[in-house]
């Protein structure tokens, strides 16, 4: 098998010097992720220095290291390992013939990235590559690029931002042939004065488009025209996607499927496809339209994409479902614990409301972070979707949820607790047979621990 990198190639890419010949089949900058045969990049950060963990990396089987100081083991020396990581990612992008997609958005970018990967991998097994987890920032994106095998046919990269200019830098590194903005929502409002500014920052993804590239823009967004204007100087083709009449790629029909999920008929400029979408919720219907548009633009197989969307399982922390045994039957646990903002809260609460239950609907809602001075208003605004979803029991977690607790008052059976441990204690007392339980909040609230305690390895 052709190695991912040789020490000579690494040295050439980062303008460094190789000391000892080696071959690497993986790349990591966290020594805990090192597998046998990997390259370990020892980066210096604000909190720690990766050089301190060289011993652990080599003990775990690292083939070599990328360092900025001399060591005895096989390595490539570079003046700055963070810059070297970017150079390695840039070299991986330069050597590939793959068709590349970039995905961003305030909500839905990880799920859309995973769905697009599943669709392309279905048609070209083991020839698609994507960024793992949510590696979407200034270190995660170049790392994901550096991990891309040279024989890759399709590459899918998630890109995030929390300030203007960040996406512009990332997209010029990725150089996508297809760029997707999933949706615009008031995330990171602590760093932006308005949703329009967020739309402008997300629209930076189009700046890195390769010549002849395609921009995919959410048709149903109030910021559609703003995003189209951002794409126009850089994209040869601009396509809108969504559910509204007039979208270039739209769901003409979407109805509950008998076995779960949604039966969708999608119209594309030159095709029509009927398929079952395994993931519930209207937001997933829109995401699926973006996936189909990207598959077609990248030269993939639409029929295989439809099969992949039907088979796609829920993602850990982003919709994964667990059936919990309880006295008298089972309860459904919906894990949305990875992140939250006002738009994703509303979408998942609606999904909870659409669940057919014989018991109660229970919502464990953690604080939404980085909303700045708008935090109280956005938290309080969740009262309406909670009521519309017919939620029977609400457990609110974190100080920021005080504004919502005040609005709810006696309107719902509500408990406000300070942290995830208290939420688990309150939830364990509330679960009954036939219940559907939604767990959602910003990652830092720690509600993943609630899911783990209840579900463990069950699904």
Q: What DSSP element (H or E) covers 27?
A: strand 26-28
**Right CATH for 320-455 from 3.40.50.970, 3.20.20.70, 3.90.950.20, 3.90.190.20:** 3.90.190.20
CATH class, 5-79 region: alpha beta
- 96-311 CATH choice from 3.40.50.970, 3.40.1190.10, 1.10.3720.10, 3.10.20.340: 3.40.1190.10
| Range name among 115-129, 186-200, 364-378 with the lowest pLDDT average | 186-200
| Orientation of helix 448-455 relative to helix 420-428, angle to 10° | 40
CB 268 within 8 A of CB 296: yes
Q: What is the pLDDT of residues 58-109, one digit of tens each?
A: 999 999 999 999 999 999 999 999 999 999 999 999 999 999 999 999 989 9
Task: Check pLDDT > 80 for residue 224.
Answer: yes
In this prediction, residue 412 carries a pLDDT of: 63
Strand partners, 329: 326
Four-residue CA torsion sign, 213, 218, 223, 225: positive
Which pLDDT belongs to residue 459?
41
What gap in Å lies between CA 284 and CA 279, rounded to an integer? 6
How many residues belong to the chain?
459
Per residue in 2-24, pLDDT tens?
999 999 999 999 999 999 999 99
DSSP string, 212-254: T-EEEEETTSTTHHHHHHHHTTT-SEEEEEESSTT-SEEEEEE
Residue of 181, 125, 117 whose CA lies nearest to 155? 117
Q: Grade residue 429 by pLDDT with cuts at 50, 70 and 90.
A: confident
Cα atoms in the Cβ-side hemisphere of radius 13 Å centred on 111? 33
**Residue 458 in this model has a pLDDT that exceeds 50:** no
Q: Kindly report the pTM of this predicted structure.
A: 0.86
Which pairs count as long-range contacts for 319-324, CB under 8 Å and 24+ apart, including other chains?
319/111, 319/279, 319/280, 319/281, 319/348, 320/459, 321/459, 322/451, 322/454, 322/455, 322/458, 322/459, 323/458, 323/459, 324/431, 324/454, 324/455, 324/458
DSSP state of 318: B
pLDDT higher than 80, residue 188? no
Pairing mode, strands 214-218 and 178-181 = parallel
- Kindly report, residue by residue over 125-171, the tens digit of the pLDDT: 999 999 987 789 999 999 999 999 999 999 999 999 989 999 999 99
Does the pLDDT of residue 259 top 80, yes or no?
no
pLDDT of residue 304 exceeding 70: yes
Residue 105 and residue 374: Cα distance in Å, rounded? 20
Share of the chain above pLDDT 90, in %: 85
When pLDDT is cut at 50, 70 and 90, the band that residue 216 belongs to is: very high
CB-CB contact of 318 with 111 (8 Å)? yes
Please give the C-alpha separations between residue 197 and each of 1, 108, 220, 371, in angstroms, as whole numbers. 47, 19, 18, 14
Rounded Cα gap, residues 135 and 303, in angstroms: 29
328-372 pLDDT tens trace = 999 999 999 988 999 899 989 999 998 889 999 999 999 999 898
Identify the pLDDT of residue 103: 98
Higher pLDDT, 450 or 46: 450
The structural domains of the chain, with segments of one domain joined by +, span 5-79, 96-311, 320-455
């Amino acid at each position: 098998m052709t190695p991912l990198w040789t020490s000579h190639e690494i040295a050439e890419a980062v303008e460094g010097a190789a000391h000892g010949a080696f071959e690497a089949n993986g790349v990591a900058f966290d020594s805990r992720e090192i597998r046998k045969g990997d390259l370990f990049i020892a980066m210096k950060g604000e909190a720690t220095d990766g050089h301190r963990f060289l011993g652990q990396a080599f003990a775990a089987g690292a083939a070599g290291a990328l360092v900025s100081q001399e060591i005895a083991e096989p390595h490539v020396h570079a003046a700055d390992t963070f810059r070297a990581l970017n150079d390695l990612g840039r070299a991986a992008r330069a050597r590939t013939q793959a068709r590349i997609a970039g995905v961003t958005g305030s909500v839905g970018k990880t799920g859309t990235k995973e769905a697009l990967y599943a669709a392309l991998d279905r048609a070209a097994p083991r020839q698609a590559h994507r960024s793992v987890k949510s590696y979407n920032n200034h270190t995660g994106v170049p790392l994901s690029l550096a991990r891309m095998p040279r024989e890759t046919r399709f590459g899918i990269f998630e890109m995030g931002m929390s300030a203007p200019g960040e996406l512009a830098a990332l997209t010029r590194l990725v150089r996508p042939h297809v760029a997707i903005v999933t949706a615009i929502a008031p995330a990171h409002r602590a760093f932006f004065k308005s949703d329009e500014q967020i739309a402008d920052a997300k629209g930076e993804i189009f700046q890195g488009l390769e010549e002849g590239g395609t921009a995919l823009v959410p048709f149903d967004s109030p910021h559609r025209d703003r995003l189209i204007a951002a794409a126009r100087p850089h994209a040869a083709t601009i396509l809108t996607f969504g559910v509204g009449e007039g979208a270039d790629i739209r769901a003409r029909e979407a109805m509950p499927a008998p076995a779960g999920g949604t039966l969708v008929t999608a119209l594309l400029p030159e095709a029509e496809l009927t398929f079952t979408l395994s993931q519930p919720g209207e937001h997933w219907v829109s995401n699926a339209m973006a996936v189909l548009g990207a598959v077609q633009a990248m030269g993939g197989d639409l029929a295989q994409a439809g099969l992949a969307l039907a088979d796609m399982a829920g993602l850990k922390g982003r919709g994964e479902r667990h059936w919990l045994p309880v006295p008298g039957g089972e309860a459904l646990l919906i894990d949305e614990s990875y992140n939250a903002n006002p738009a994703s809260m509303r979408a998942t609460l609606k999904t909870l409301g659409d669940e057919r239950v014989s018991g109660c609907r229970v919502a464990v809602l953690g604080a939404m972070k980085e909303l700045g001075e708008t935090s109280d208003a956005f938290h309080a605004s969740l009262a309406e979707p909670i009521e519309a979803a017919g939620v029977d029991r609400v457990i609110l977690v974190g100080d920021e949820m005080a504004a919502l607790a005040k609005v709810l008052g006696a309107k719902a059976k509500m408990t406000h607790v300070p942290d995830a441990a208290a939420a688990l204690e309150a939830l364990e007392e509330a679960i009954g047979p036939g219940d559907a339980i939604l767990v959602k909040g910003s990652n830092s609230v720690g509600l993943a621990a609630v899911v783990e305690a209840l579900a463990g390895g069950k699904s």
